[in-house]
Amino acid sequence: MDSREDRISKILEENLLRLDDVLACMVARKGMEGIVPPSDKFKINDVGVWQVLQKTMNEFFDIIEAYSSYGLNKVYFELGEYDVMFFILPRTDVALIAVISSLANRGLLEVEMENARRQILQVLEEDGQ
Which percentage of the chain shows pLDDT scores above 90? 50
pLDDT attached to residue 16: 96
pLDDT tens digits for 61-98?
Answer: 888 888 888 888 999 988 888 999 999 998 888 899 99
The phi, psi pair for 73, rounded to 5°, reads -130, -10
CATH among 3.40.50.150, 1.10.10.10, 3.30.450.30, 3.40.1410.10 for 4-128: 3.30.450.30
Q: How far is CA 78 from the centre of its chain?
A: 15
Q: How much is the pTM?
A: 0.90
Q: What is the pLDDT of residues 1-45, one digit of tens each?
A: 589 999 999 999 999 999 999 999 999 988 878 998 888 889 987
Q: What is the pLDDT of residue 1?
A: 57
- Residue 10: its pLDDT value, please? 95
